[in-house]
Structure 1
Amino acid sequence: MTQPETPDNAPRIPSAMSAESNQSLPFAAALDDFFVYMRSEKQLSLHTQTNYARDLEKFQKYCLEKRITELDKLAPNHIRIAVAQLHRTGLGGKSLQRWLSSLRSFFQFCIKRQWMGSNVADGITAPKSPKKLPKTLDVDQAIQFVEVEGDDFIQQRDRALVELIYSSGLRLAEVVALNLNDIDWGEAMLRVVAGKGGKSRVLPIGSAAMVALKNWLPARKLFTTDAEQALFITQRGSRIGHRAVQIRLQQLSVQQGMDTPVHPHMLRHSFASHMLESSGDLRLVQELLGHENISTTQVYTHLDFQHLAKVYDKAHPRAVRKPDSND
């Protein structure tokens, strides 16, 4: 069968290593065959081929420096040393993971061609990339954002919505899914159900959020029926959607004079960051955020842990929950 012609811009590995060895298959020949396979049999995109070429060229350069020109001379230790060298030059964890993936694919191809007996890159991992702290608002910025003024339907709803997200660290999906009966109005507590397993958690609601929610209820009632149980609705009387919340927060970012667009998860991140700054209680924040693994919460800080509503009341800048004489 005639092989398709190689496009002029198709990636090629430089044939820096001689193909004249009579001992075992040289790198250059194996790489050429690998790229014919990638292009003709796998029919990978030009972008993917270019990525493979870039990754394998790095390894070829390393092997030239070590005078390794043949496949049967490779050992796992060569891969480990190459990973360490690339990491020292500034290549990050994710880039090194992709680089190792390219090597494994190439070596697996060589094994199928019976040019190698084992995949010398198997079991070798890249250094982990440091987790970056999500972008957050400081306390003053958060308060500026959630203090939405006005008494019409949209303003009442938006104020209650953003106050509640920031008060209790809710995910977008969680706040959209809330029903009226999820709130204990007397105790100022909230039940949230989230995740694939439908796990629930109970969260405190700060005083500012409770005031905004109670002010929102009369406006909400004018636009819907008793059959609709959604806490947050549109002017059409139905449950508000994810995209509608995102758009409203973008509009509020401009309206409230924010320097950067605020999205729902930024409010959740800000909640977590402010709670940790005030309390230093990582376990508390893990429980409030609903993280199964505390390592997920550790992206916010490396503080040590030490309980729930009492710490919350002292720590959250909008949380001083006082008994309501009307309850």
Structure 2
Amino acid sequence: MGATVEELGAVVLDGLRTAGYQESTVGQYEKTIRALTGFVAARGGVYTPALGAAFARLTVSPRTGRFSAQRRLDYNRLVALLDTYVLTGRFDLATRKRGGGGPRPASEQFVALDASWEQDMADRGLAPATRAAYGRIARAYLVFLEDQGVTGLDGADGASVLAFLESLTERWARSSLFWVVSNFRPFLKFTGRTDLVDAVGLAGVRRSHRILAVLDDADTQHVVQACTGPAVSARDGALTLLALTTGLRACDIVALRLSDIDWRGATVGIVQQKTKNPLTVPLAALVLARLADYVLDERPASGDDHVFLRSVAPYTGLADHASIYRVIAQTFRTAGLAQVKAGTSFLRHNAASKLLAASVPLPTISAVLGHASQESTSTYLSLDADRLLECVLPVPVGGRS
């Protein structure tokens, strides 16, 4: 016989308090446990992953009648904890991520398909960030099918793929759908349904290339001053400076370990999460000094050897790219640049543009950014506005109006 939510909830709360979670967080879990208790009690009283998935999909607030991001966060993270316990007999508090990977399917066939897809990605050694992105969009499609009354892949067709992509335009800009499709197509290929793969092509989603702004010298100086000043913690300052000066990807900053830093040689050496290629980049003296400030004076004692840890218990590595974005965005706000949508993607573009403006060859820029192909670097040519203007041809006299 399975356990009740009350029994599981008591263990969860005890584990959270033992791990040093703040009482405000524990209280939020208690509130969610009460909601889940009532939901499961009306359906037999015994918790199952299928009931948990159905509960996690209740993301619309009955008070406002609108989607609630907080409800989705609270419901998904509790269900993820309970599912881990049901499957393994223990709670893994170190792996909680914001949002819990989105809604999950509830039907038996789709739960099995989702598990098979996750296992396939793990077997192929895909990077954690890639697996998370692929898994999230796959589950969103399966949940969409269930909302249409379809509980098995046999009931899906090309029209469902097009309808699913169209439904995403309520939350995604059309210019961003290219990335959704890029993450969605591998799952459809995994299913072996060529008709579903072909349907993605019929959606006509194309990649757009924007000419992105970069930091001027004055803004860069503001960021550097903020990172080295008292208003920004050593961790956040070191992290932002690292991204600003090296152009490292967020997933590589998350995965960075103490042993990756060569303090004497002033370099950091990693195996890239995305390409699996080795990469060594130099560390500016300012970055190295701020890293030392963090490691020696501020970094909490922990058995976790990731360089950047959470600032509150549990003291484990940062969860994902969203954690990196929040740190950099807050640092930019402190620097007086709240209008800049800063993140590691922006800072990679910024680093590339600075190198390009300094006449550094594209192969060298490609090596610094850790691109697997130089073709990936050519997109940064669009960032050098001055050189683009040099390519503009004058309008012939006869063509002027």
Q: Is the 8 A contact 1:133 1:299 kept in 2?
A: no
Q: Is the 8 A contact 2:211 2:382 kept in 1?
A: no
CA distance in 2, matches of 1:44, 1:302: 37
User: What amino acid is aligned across from residue 241 of structure 1 in structure 2?
Assistant: A
User: What amino acid is aligned across from residue 286 of structure 2 in structure 1?
Assistant: A
User: What amino acid is aligned across from residue 245 of structure 1 in structure 2?
Assistant: I
Match of 2:301 among 224, 229, 232: 224
Which residue of structure 1 lines up, in the alignment, with residue 345 of structure 2?
A: 265
Residue 196 of structure 1, CA deviation: 4.9
Which residue of structure 2 lines up, in the alignment, with residue 245 of structure 1?
A: 324
Match of 1:145 among 184, 201, 223: 223
CA distance in 2, matches of 1:206, 1:279: 20
Which residue of structure 1 lines up, in the alignment, with residue 369 of structure 2?
A: 289
Bigger Cα displacement from structure 2, 261-270 vs 183-192: 261-270
CA distance in 1, matches of 2:349, 2:359: 15
1:181-219 CA distance string (max 9 Å, x none)? 101101111112214552211111112211211222222
* TM-score, normalising length: structure 2: 0.42
Residues 196 and 301 from structure 1, CA distance in 2 versus in 1: closer, same or farther, beyond 3 angstroms?
closer
Q: Is the 8 A contact 2:281 2:368 kept in 1?
A: yes
Aligned partner of residue 301 in structure 1, secondary structure:
helix
Which residue of structure 2 lines up, in the alignment, with residue 233 of structure 1?
A: 309
Aligned partner of residue 371 in structure 2, secondary structure:
coil
Residues 290 and 277 from structure 1, CA distance in 2 versus in 1: closer, same or farther, beyond 3 angstroms?
same
Residue 246 of structure 1, CA deviation: 1.6
Residue 157 of structure 1, CA deviation: 0.6
Which residue of structure 2 lines up, in the alignment, with residue 12 of structure 1?
A: none
Match of 2:270 among 189, 192, 213: 192
Identity %, equivalent residues: 23
Residue 248 of structure 1, CA deviation: 2.1
Which residue of structure 2 lines up, in the alignment, with residue 85 of structure 1?
A: none
Aligned: 1:298 with 2:375: no
CA distance in 2, matches of 1:244, 1:193: 21
1:95-134 CA distance string (max 9 Å, x none)? 9xxxxxxxxxxxxxxxxxxxxxxxxxxxxxx9x9774344
CA distance in 1, matches of 2:252, 2:351: 15
Aligned: 1:163 with 2:255: no
Q: Is the 8 A contact 2:247 2:347 kept in 1?
A: yes
Q: Is the 8 A contact 2:275 2:372 kept in 1?
A: no
1:24-75 CA distance string (max 9 Å, x none)? xxxxxxxxxxxxxxxxx958369759x9xxxxxxxxxxxxxxxxxxxxxxxx
Match of 1:176 among 237, 242, 254: 254
CA distance in 2, matches of 1:43, 1:300: 36
Residues 173 and 129 from structure 1, CA distance in 2 versus in 1: closer, same or farther, beyond 3 angstroms?
closer
1:123-166 CA distance string (max 9 Å, x none)? xxx9x9774344432333233224325448x6111110011111
CA distance in 1, matches of 2:379, 2:265: 31
When the two chains are superposed, the root-mean-square deviation of aligned CA atoms in Å is: 3.6
Q: Is the 8 A contact 1:139 1:274 kept in 2?
A: no
Q: Is the 8 A contact 2:251 2:273 kept in 1?
A: no
User: What amino acid is aligned across from residue 253 of structure 1 in structure 2?
Assistant: F
Q: Is the 8 A contact 2:240 2:327 kept in 1?
A: no
Aligned: 1:44 with 2:159: yes
Q: Could you say which structure has the larger radius of gyration?
A: 1
Unaligned runs of 5+ in 2: 1-155, 167-174, 179-203, 384-401
Task: Between the two structures, name the one with larger relative contact order (CA 8 Å, sep ≥ 6).
Answer: 1
* TM-score, normalising length: structure 1: 0.50
1:62-89 CA distance string (max 9 Å, x none)? xxxxxxxxxxxxxxxxxxxxxxxxxxxx
Residue 239 of structure 1, CA deviation: 1.0
Match of 2:214 among 132, 136, 139: 136
Q: Is the 8 A contact 1:230 1:239 kept in 2?
A: yes
User: What amino acid is aligned across from residue 308 of structure 2 in structure 1?
Assistant: F
Aligned: 1:208 with 2:286: yes
Residue 283 of structure 1, CA deviation: 1.2
CA distance in 1, matches of 2:275, 2:244: 24
Aligned partner of residue 380 in structure 2, secondary structure:
coil
User: What amino acid is aligned across from residue 203 of structure 1 in structure 2?
Assistant: V
Aligned partner of residue 328 in structure 2, secondary structure:
helix
Residue 288 of structure 1, CA deviation: 0.5
Q: Is the 8 A contact 2:255 2:306 kept in 1?
A: yes
Aligned: 1:277 with 2:357: yes
Residue 301 of structure 1, CA deviation: 1.9
Residue 228 of structure 1, CA deviation: 2.2
Aligned partner of residue 160 in structure 1, secondary structure:
helix
Unaligned runs of 5+ in 1: 1-40, 52-91, 96-125, 304-327
Residue 252 of structure 1, CA deviation: 2.3
Instruction: Map 1:52-201 to 2 at 5 A.
Output: 131-148=209-226, 149-151=228-230, 155-196=233-274, 198-201=276-279
CA distance in 2, matches of 1:297, 1:268: 11
User: What amino acid is aligned across from residue 224 of structure 1 in structure 2?
Assistant: A
CA distance in 2, matches of 1:256, 1:170: 21
